[in-house]
Amino acid sequence: MKTPIQFRLNGEEVATFAEGGANLLDTLRETIGDLSVKGGCWHGSCGACTVLIDGAPRLACMTLAETVAGRSIETTAGLRQGAELHPLQTAFMEHFAAQCGYCTPGMLMAAKALLDRNSSPSREDVVDALGGNICRCTGYEPIIQAVLDAARGYRRSA
Amino acid sequence: MFELRKDVFADERDDNLHEIGQPTQRQDMLGHVTGTSAYYDDHRFAGLLHLKVLRSPHAHARIRSIDDSAAARAPGVKRIIRAADVPVNLNTLLSLINFGKDDEPSLASDIVRYKGEPILGIVATSERAALEALAKVRVSYDPLPAVLDVEEALKPGAPSVNATYPQNTFEYHGKYDHQNLRYGDVEAGFKQADVVIEDRYQMSPIEHATVETNGSITVPDTNGRFVVYTSTQALFFSLDTAAKINAMPSNQLHFIGGTVGGGFGGKVDTMTEPLCVLAARLTGAPVRYRFSRHEEMQFGSPRGAERIYVKDGVMRDGRIVARQVRCYFDSGAYTRLSSYAAIKCAAHIPGPYTIPNVYADVYCVFTNRTPATAMRGFGVTALDFALECQMDKLAHAIGMDPVEFRILNAYRDGDMKAHRREAKNCALIECAQVAAEKANWPIREEFRRMSSRSGGTGAARAGAAIDHTRAPAPAPQRVTYERPPQPASAQPPTRSEPPPPPPPRPSAPASTPGSSHGAQRFSSVFGTRRR
């Protein structure tokens, strides 16, 4: 049984069929082809598949694809505007906030959700926002510093 | 922030370090932050099939029968892979360098030796179809007694884990059941010592838990070759292993990797590629074999558990005079890389310290646990944990500052190691001095003045470098041990005996400080003072 669904992905309307029981992670990666979303655990414990649904950070592997019909989804693939990187992307590069890079798309989306609603986060706010995202390489500190630095860029551009 | 200390060994540098000390952007960083770095699973192929394996629920059991008839009829199933389908169904990773005997099947046929051992593979049109078909396979087991403890495994009458090594120990050079190290007379050292401390250290297995799980995709090419996209950390290692198990020339395999979602040692075991290649050969279709998170955590090989016993004899003046180590590596059911870990461990004993009497036995032991593998310094990390715990305890017992105690015993250039190799290019003293300075940890002037380059004649330096008429620095109790301070630690040190004669040392080429530079001191490849 397949259900037709339509939603906005990084600002573009997309339409597809969701397999019965299919999650958003598989639908984005396997059906639509947005490979910027990574799967790490497929049961909601690592945060690698974090996407924004109507601006809120959500785990794509724990979201039934059918439930996103009519909603707006953001992924790392839509983060930069043309050739221009998003402030978070620039800050991650400058702070060496990625090593293997596999958790990075999820980190970026969790951080974007935070900065979109609070462009002056405290260190505790950042730690709290990234609390559901596991990184096994960096030890987190460069990521926290990158998000705090990106927030400064947010405030300047606002 | 990164700080490059150029004042240490300054006369050995010509300051030609153009890259070290300043940041350089990673070439893969832009891909990482834009989500465009292509990991193995970011390649898409029409008609991709999915391989999942049935795993043993028992730590040790005989397989009486396998009934996969219902699974074969399940929707979406393209092929069932049984042990008999594997061309070379016995392998050990390091056979590629002629080290160790083949001991591990890709698919178990008669006996399963750890919980999670693969028994049978199913290739289907989706992961879900493969998993549903796996649930229809009926296996009948006769559970066997399992041994899950390294010392139990070495007792007479213990269940034999691995038919290749029936004594439950890896065999070195075809005849030795362990690695040993003998230097000086450890018993005489203990008799001479003022204080002897013995303790037991037990490490747990540690899972790397890479965020990307192990996996690979094999795609049949049009020229008879197979292209393999893989998460491996060791591309050619995996290629040769896959070729060996599939009994095919390695030039029929084209491995593509390099972008790996975390490794840390957890992706060197070639756990998915051989069966993935076999599945593609048997079906003629592209096949993906991807570990679930559960498989990765439960069955992906971890850092092995180690049990370490350390007995040390120390003099009140701070010299360690004897160190005895007994170490058991839990290899799990198969060798993989633990045989090598035990060698690294033996090579690291007694730590970076000059000790005249050393005695060590290191065993690589088979148990019915998940086979262990590499992880960040494996073989050395756990041993260092044990040894450095001992160092703190010893320092405390004799009332000596733990940093000064380490500096006193650290290798100097020219010291003789327990392995009868001369210590060269030593830098522990300088590291300890800088660490103490950074931590605002006071050490006495004579310890601040010590150098890795002087006093390197083994035991003789203790008398030369320290004024023993002075009382040692008060040793503040900065750490708490179960063992209370020894009452004798308050006594002034007495040194009536001369230090033991230095162990024999080889004739070393004359050291010429000033003629070398930093690259030489720290290079393991070249350098006039290395041999």
Range of the domain at A59: 2-78
- pLDDT tens, residue by residue, B167-178: 999 999 999 999
pLDDT at B506 over 70: no
CATH class of the domain whose range is B179-205+303-522 = alpha beta
CATH 3.30.365.10 domain position(s) in chain B: 179-205+303-522
Buried/exposed code over B228-249 (b: 16+ C-beta within 10 A; e: otherwise): bbbbbbbbebbbbbbbbbbebe
Give me the residue from A42, A43, A102 closest to B39, CB to CB: A102
By Cβ distance, the residue of A45, A46, A93 closest to B25 is A93
Tell me whether residues A103 and B32 touch, CB distance under 8 A: no
**Chain A residues with CB-CB distance to B39 below 8 A:** 38, 102
According to the CATH classification, is domain B48-144+208-298 in 3.30.1460.30?
no
Whether A98 and A37 map to the same domain: the answer is no
- CB contacts of B208 in chain A (<8 Å) are 136
Closest CA in chain A for residue B27: A93
Would the pLDDT of B380 be above 50?
Answer: yes
Shared domain check, A68 and A9: yes
Give the minimum alpha-carbon distance from A46 to chain B in angstroms, rounded to a whole number. 7
Closest residue, chain A, to B33 (C-alpha): A89
Q: What pLDDT is attached to residue B498?
A: 47
Please give the share of chain B, as a percent, with pLDDT higher than 70.
85
pTM recorded for the entire structure: 0.88
**Residue B511 reports pLDDT greater than 50:** no
Q: Which residues pair with B227 in a beta bridge?
A: B219, B254
Of the residues A61, A78, A95, which one is the last residue of a structural domain?
A78
Contact of A53 with chain B, judged by CB distance below 8 Å, is answered with no
3-state secondary structure B185-234: CHHHHHHHCCEEEEEEEECCCECCCCCCCCEEEEEECCCCCEEEEECCCC
Has residue B456 got a pLDDT over 80?
Answer: no
Q: B76 at the A interface (CB within 8 A)?
A: no
Q: Which residues face A51 on adjacent strands?
A: A58
> Per-residue pLDDT averaged across B322-351, rounded?
97
Cα–Cα distance measured from residue B58 to residue B53, given in angstroms and rounded to the nearest whole number: 15
Choose, out of A41, A76, A134, the residue to mutate when testing the contact with B (most B CBs < 10 Å).
A41
Q: Mutate which of B1, B22, B26, B32 to disrupt the A interface (most A C-beta within 10 Å)?
A: B32
Q: What is the pLDDT of residues A37-90, one digit of tens each?
A: 999 999 999 999 999 999 999 999 999 999 999 999 999 999 999 899 999 999
pLDDT of residue B396 exceeding 70: yes
| Phi-psi sector, B224: left (phi>0), alpha (psi -120 to 50), beta | left
Sign of CA dihedral A18, A19, A20, A22: negative
The whole-number pLDDT of residue B481 equals: 33
Our CA-based measurement puts residue A3 at a distance from the nearest CA of chain B, in whole angstroms, of 18
A147 to chain B, minimum CA–CA distance in Å?
13
Q: Which pLDDT tens digit goes with each residue over B100-110?
A: 999 999 999 99
Tokens found for residue B56: 């043993």
Whether B13 has a pLDDT exceeding 90, the answer reads no
Could you tell me whether strands B287-290 and A12-19 are parallel, antiparallel, or unpaired per DSSP bridges?
unpaired
Residues of B in contact with A39 (CB under 8 A): 41
Looking at residue B1, its pLDDT comes to: 54
Q: Do B29 and A93 touch (CB under 8 A)?
A: yes
Residue B44: its chain A contacts at CB < 8 A?
33
B24 vs A: CB within 8 A: no
- Of A45, A78, A111, the last residue of a domain is A78
Q: Are residues A6 and A51 in the same domain?
A: yes
Task: Check if B258 contacts A (Cβ < 8 Å).
Answer: no
Q: What is the DSSP letter of B121?
A: E
Domain count, chain A: 2
**Residue range B465-493: mean pLDDT, rounded:** 37
Contact: B28, A37; criterion CB under 8 Å: no
Measured in angstroms, the CA of B227 and the nearest CA of chain A are apart by 20
Question: By the 8 A CB rule, do B206 and B373 touch?
Answer: no
B-chain residue closest to A93, CA distance:
B29
Q: Are residues A52 and A103 in the same domain?
A: no
* Co-location of A54 and A117 in the same domain: no
Q: In whole angstroms, what is the distance from residue A112 CA to residue A79 CA?
A: 9
Q: Which is nearest to B227 in space by CA: B197, B209, B264, B252?
A: B252
Q: Does the CB of A101 have a partner CB in chain B at under 8 Å?
A: yes
CATH of the domain at A135: 1.10.150.120
Where along chain B do the CATH 3.90.1170.50 domains lie? 48-144+208-298
Q: Which amino acid is at B296?
A: E
- B positions 203-222 inside 8 Å of A (CB): 208-213
Distance from the B45 Cα atom to the nearest Cα atom in chain A, whole angstroms: 10
Answer whether A137 sits within 8 Å of B23, measured CB to CB: no
pLDDT at B509 over 60: no
Task: Enumerate the residues of chain A whose CB falls inside 8 A of the CB of residue B35.
Answer: 35-38, 75-77, 79, 104-105, 108
Residue partners of B79: CB distance under 8 A and separation at least 6: B122, B123, B279, B282, B283
Question: How much is the pLDDT for A158?
Answer: 59
Interface contact flag, B33 A93, Cβ < 8 Å: yes
3-state class (DSSP) for residue B80 = strand
Note whether B283 contacts A: Cβ–Cβ < 8 A: no
pLDDT tens per residue across span A2-44 = 899 999 999 999 999 998 889 999 999 999 999 999 999 999 9
Is the CB of B261 less than 8 angstroms away from the CB of A46? Answer: no
Q: Number of CB pairs < 8 Å for A and B?
A: 95
Within this chain, do residues A70 and A102 fall inside the same structural domain, yes or no?
no
Measure the CA–CA gap between B388 and B305, rounded to whole angstroms: 18
A93 at interface of B, judged by CB pairs closer than 8 A: yes
Q: How many CA atoms lie within 13 A of A27 on its CB side?
A: 31
CB atoms within 10 A of CB B257: 21
Of A33, A39, A136, the CB nearest to B209: A136
For residue B282, give both structure tokens. 């048997």
Beta-carbon count within 10 A of A21 CB? 11
Q: Shortest CB distance from A101 goes to which of B25, B28, B263?
A: B28
Grade residue B458 by pLDDT with cuts at 50, 70 and 90: very low
A26, B31, B434, B455 from A106: Cα distances, Å: 15, 14, 38, 54
Chain A interface includes B376 (CB < 8 A): no
Shortest Cα distance, chain B CAs vs residue A7, angstroms = 21
How distant is the Cα of B265 from the closest Cα of chain A, in angstroms? Answer: 12
Q: Average pLDDT, stretch B298-311?
A: 95
Last residue of a domain, one of A78, A104, A133: A78
- Same-domain pairing of A50 and A103: no
Interface contact B262, partner A, CB < 8 A: yes
Partner B contacted by A76 (CB < 8 A): yes
Whether B44 has its CB under 8 Å from any CB of chain A: the answer is yes
pLDDT tens, B14-46?
Answer: 777 777 777 889 999 999 999 999 999 999 999
Give the residue from B26, B27, B34 with the most A CB atoms within 10 Å of its CB, the best one to mutate.
Answer: B34
Question: Which residue type sits at B393?
Answer: K
Cross-chain residue pair B211–A134, CB shorter than 8 Å: yes
Q: A57: domain CATH number?
A: 3.10.20.30
Residue with tokens 């850092």: B303
Mean per-residue pLDDT over chain B, rounded? 87
Closest Cα partner for B475 from B446, B499, B448, B441?
B441
Instruction: Mention every residue, 6+ apart, whose C-beta is less than 8 A from residue A89.
Output: A79, A80, A108, B33, B34
What pLDDT shows up at residue B457?
65
Smallest CA–CA distance, residue A71 to chain B, in Å, is 22
Residue B357, pLDDT > 50, answer yes
Domain shared by A8 and A71, yes or no: yes
Do B345 and B362 form a contact (C-beta atoms < 8 A)? yes
A33 with B44: Cβ contact below 8 A: yes
A-chain residues within 8 Å CB-CB of B262?
100, 102, 136-137
